[in-house]
Amino acid sequence: MLALDHIVYTSEEIGFPHEKFSLENQIKAVKGGEHEDWGTYNYLAHFSNDSYLEWLGVNDYDKAKQSDNPLIKHLIYVLDHKKEGPFQFALRTNQLDKYITHFKNNNIPFEGPFHGSREKPDGTELKWRMLFPKYNYEKEVLPFLIEWESENQISSLFNPQAITKINYGNMDIKRFRHIYHLKPRKLLKNRVILHNAKIFFTENDELDFELE
Closest CA to 179 of 93, 116, 115, 119: 93
Mean pLDDT check: name the lowest of 7-16, 71-80, 109-118, 156-165. Answer: 7-16
User: How far is residue 108 from each of residues 72, 99, 129, 145, 179, measured CA to CA in Å?
Assistant: 21, 10, 19, 14, 7
Strands across the sheet containing 198-202: 191-193, 198-202, 163-169, 208-211
Which pLDDT score is estimated for 58? 93
Which pLDDT score is estimated for 154? 53
Q: Which helix (H) or strand (E) holds 21?
A: helix 15-25
**Do residues 7 and 39 touch, judged by C-beta distance below 8 A?**
no
Measure the CA–CA gap between 123 and 130, rounded to whole angstroms. Answer: 22
State if pTM tops 0.85: yes
Hey, which CATH number is domain 3-153, 3.10.180.10, 3.40.50.620, 3.90.1150.10, 3.40.47.10? 3.10.180.10
Strands 85-92 and 3-10: what pairing?
antiparallel
Position 52 pLDDT exceeds 80: yes
Mean pLDDT check: name the lowest of 75-89, 95-109, 118-132. Answer: 118-132
Which pLDDT score is estimated for 119? 74
Position 199 pLDDT exceeds 80: yes
User: How far is residue 174 from each of residues 71, 122, 137, 186, measured CA to CA in Å?
Assistant: 24, 43, 19, 12
Mean pLDDT (the chain, rounded) = 89
**Do residues 4 and 53 touch, judged by C-beta distance below 8 A?**
no
**Do residues 69 and 56 touch, judged by C-beta distance below 8 A?**
no
pLDDT confidence bin for 15, thresholds 50/70/90: low
Position 53 pLDDT exceeds 80: yes
